[in-house]
Structure 1
Amino acid sequence: MRNLWEVLARRRDYRLVLGAGLVSLTGDWILRIGLAFHVYALTGSTLASGGLLLASFLPLVLLGSPAGVFVDRWDRRRTMVVTNLLHALVLLPLLLVRDGDTLWLIYLVILAQSCLQQFFRPAEQSLIPALVEAPQLVTANSLNSQANDISRLVGAGAGGILAAAGGLPLLALVDAATYLIAMTFLLGVRHRPERVKAERVGGVRVAVRGIKGEWVEGIGVCLSGPALRLVFVFGLVTGVGEGVMSTLFAPFVSAELGGDGTAYGLITSSQAVGGIAGGLIAAAVGSRFPAAKLWGFGAVAFGLIDLALFLYPLFWKGLAPAFACMIVVGVPGAFMVAGLMTVIQRLTDDASRGRVFGALFATEGLAVLVGIVGAGALGDVVGIIPLLVVQGLGFSIGGVVVLSRLRILTPAPAEPVPAVV
């Protein structure tokens, strides 16, 4: 509890970054849910709705890793400020969408927002270690995880209501307002590191060569040791599982549990409840344990609970266990994410951290796409439950491997960061 109080009460810059993330993520969920509702209402096509997913994933796969080069070159606070401002501006074309003929504007906006996000996420994760002391990293990452769940719970509910009340213009304006509020928070951050790596002379060709060299150097860092290689393999395996889960969970609820669309929505959103509780617990006590252990034990427990969720319909029918499992799984999920993010931040130095996070997010995005395609192709052939079981096994086995490699995942402690109230 002491670390939780220290982070929230004494780390002013971190509070501002956390608040900015909470506000903007809530806006993201409002827009995401509302857009899915609006696109389907305009077209009546599930293919058109699926295009939203494609538009959001392509920049992650193609731009995620190169974007990390610029995150390492630029001031990260300034990068987050500018991307929030640009997020608000690129939402304006949504005000012009009237019918199916202007649907392309929605895809263009989603594509642009996803491109901006590839700069924001690595910048945020790379900035956090500079705002808190090393022993407080688990607490800070746990609070970030909790903010994600709170924003999903609030934004998902508000998105449907706002879409019905004011349509796409209201969704766009509300989301833009959240980005501007988040930008205001970030402008108050006082942390100003000195970091200038960009080429100043030599022309465009030299600058491009420098960027390419730094990108290659960043990939080398990602593959440079067994610890980071383990991080990337874990991301690949669990990313495929998440793609399978996102594709087959709705059919699972319908075909195996006998639930309807309302049940699916409630079961899915119930994980956020456990995530909020788990994030609070991890923030309060997580700093007492090595981050790698939080990651490993969290992954094992997460996978085992998922396996219980996917297998219980073979023995008992009903929706109650599904709700219970989805709530409970949020707790080890919060520990797993907090531990994993902390391990990565401690394994990397400030000069390369953005490239490592950018490459990891791109790797996970590619793995999710592989899981989505694989589940769509094999779902009717192999069956829903067997494929979902693979997802649970991936997390559990991955967690066991992490626990067997604790020695390589624990670097020397870093210097403390002065507190700013």
Structure 2
Amino acid sequence: MPGMRPETSLRDEEPVRPALAVLGVFRHRNFRLFFAGQLVSLMGTWMQTVAQAWLVYALTHSPLLLGLTTFCSQVTVFFLAPFGGLVADRVDRRRLLLVTQSAAMLQAAVLAGLTLAGVVRVWEIVALAFGLGLINAFDMPTRQAMLLDMVGTSDLRHAIAVNSMMFNLARVIGPSLAGAVIALTGEGWCFALNAVSFSAVLASLWLMRLTPRLPRRHDRPLDEIAEGYRYSFHHRLIRVSLFLIAASSCFGAAYLTLMPAFARDMLHGSAAHYGVLMAAVGAGAFVGAYGLSLIKERWLVAAPVIAGAVFGIGLMAFSQSQGLWQAVVVLVPTAMCLMIQGGTTNTIIQLAAGERFRGRVISHYSQAFIGMMPWGALILGALADRFGVREAILWGGSVVLASSTLGWLMRRGQVWKLENLRTKE
């Protein structure tokens, strides 16, 4: 690929000035295009996410239905991500993303039309959320796997860090814009703006020029999926890393589902308060994504365990927040730790995966991180409906803390270094 430097050892890649080294990924033309298109599109996506949750709660006042909507939008990732990873290993990834992003644009346009017409019903929101989940089951592993295609092994860590910063910069801007748009014009225009935002990422994908991948022999799909699972779980570090991120996602990250109820009922706020809370989450995650690029090699493997434990403690503290700004102060480091845990886990498994398995291994990460959220949303939504929002978040944080302790015990007795991560194909 033009501009790509020769692959060097991981230890040689330890940057002298990481604050500047992380920007080196922008010398890759394809990554620059990817960054610009995704930033615009993700701002629209976060606007839709916030507006959808607020609309569901405004129509129903039910934490359980909030959880159900999130469950339907993400549960397909849990079941179908392995098939998405398999397809990502077989086909041209750029062309597949053109299809999935076009389908997501259509989904947003339909939701906008129903809402602006004033005829939208909860079951339609849930059905469209389910449809978006189907799209994401193929989009997510393909998008993650294409990072290495764009920047190469030597810049992978920085690409993941910058990609995460982009995602969370959009998480800061999108919810803030959504809160203002909802207050001024209603939820429908958030959905419409999201549909328009997909034009940016589609344009960036059309302009990319990627090196063709070498053809390989294909086995039966179910055999290849089973082979991918054997490959992932053969490596003890990957097993532990996936366990940790799955626990944090299911019992911790699902607190985002309850954010409209927390803002409205616990803090007695409005859509603007909800937007501020979500922007605080985005700000913390943005800082965490940048922090990923600063983590030294000797700490990378331990980071998921430590960050998971602090994330659990942060959730427990957030559950007891009594005011908006108290909640904001707690949310920033809490979201930062979840992002560090997710980013370091992503880095570890991508460095460990061989090229022919990469899409499938990343699909397991998508299952653990994104696919476990709907189960947690359903569990925490039911607990909140029965015992209260604060109690549900407190319980989730305590489970995350316990899982991090267990993860530390599971990794005892082994010294894991980056240069030992890559397994044989």
Instruction: Name the TM-score, length of structure 1 as normaliser.
Output: 0.80
Deviations 1:57-107 (A, max 9, x none): 232222222221111111222222222222223434335423447665544
Query: Which residue of 2 is the match for residue 26 of structure 1?
Result: 43
Q: 1:69 to 1:130 in 2, by over 3 A?
A: same
Query: What are structure 2's unaligned runs of at least 5 residues?
Result: 1-18
The whole-number CA distance in structure 2 between the counterparts of 1:71 and 1:21 is 19
Q: What amino acid is the match of 2:194?
A: D
- 1:242 paired with 2:252, answer yes
The whole-number CA distance in structure 2 between the counterparts of 1:138 and 1:71 is 21
Deviations 1:32-54 (A, max 9, x none): 2223344555x456366555323
Q: CA deviation at 1:234?
A: 1.4
Report SS of the residue matched to 1:407.
coil
**Matches for 1:3-402 after TM superposition, within 5 Å:** 3-8=21-26, 10-39=27-56, 43-44=59-60, 46=62, 51-94=68-111, 96-97=113-114, 98-100=117-119, 105-163=124-182, 170-197=189-216, 210-242=220-252, 245-246=255-256, 259-262=267-270, 265-283=275-293, 285-286=294-295, 290-310=299-319, 320-365=325-370, 367-378=372-383, 380=386, 383-384=391-392, 387-394=395-402, 396-397=404-405, 400-401=408-409
Report SS of the residue matched to 1:261.
coil
Report SS of the residue matched to 2:295.
helix
The whole-number CA distance in structure 1 between the counterparts of 2:421 and 2:67 is 45
Q: CA deviation at 1:139?
A: 2.0
Q: CA deviation at 1:184?
A: 1.0
Query: Which residue of 2 is the match for residue 202 of structure 1?
Result: none
Contact 1:123 1:354 in 2 (8 A): yes
Deviations 1:182-207 (A, max 9, x none): 111122222223244586xxxxxxxx
Q: What amino acid is the match of 2:301?
A: A
Contact 1:83 1:116 in 2 (8 A): yes
Q: CA deviation at 1:244?
A: 5.6
Q: 1:218 to 1:139 in 2, by over 3 A?
A: same
Q: 1:406 to 1:134 in 2, by over 3 A?
A: farther
Q: How many residues align?
A: 396
The whole-number CA distance in structure 2 between the counterparts of 1:101 and 1:264 is 22
Contact 2:172 2:279 in 1 (8 A): yes
Q: CA deviation at 1:391?
A: 3.9
Q: CA deviation at 1:163?
A: 4.3
Q: What amino acid is the match of 2:21?
A: N
Deviations 1:138-157 (A, max 9, x none): 22212122112111121112
Q: CA deviation at 1:181?
A: 0.8
Deviations 1:169-224 (A, max 9, x none): 6444422221121111122222223244586xxxxxxxxx8222212222222222
The whole-number CA distance in structure 2 between the counterparts of 1:102 and 1:330 is 32
Q: 1:195 to 1:30 in 2, by over 3 A?
A: farther
Q: CA deviation at 1:341?
A: 1.0
Q: 1:170 to 1:320 in 2, by over 3 A?
A: closer
Q: What amino acid is the match of 1:56?
A: S
Greater shift after overlay, 221-230 or 260-269? 260-269
Q: 1:111 to 1:156 in 2, by over 3 A?
A: same
Report SS of the residue matched to 1:329.
helix
The root-mean-square deviation of aligned C-alpha atoms, in Å, is 3.5
Q: CA deviation at 1:343?
A: 0.2
The whole-number CA distance in structure 1 between the counterparts of 2:410 and 2:286 is 24
The whole-number CA distance in structure 2 between the counterparts of 1:29 and 1:131 is 25
Contact 1:294 1:338 in 2 (8 A): no
Once the two structures are aligned, what percentage of the paired residues are identical? 21
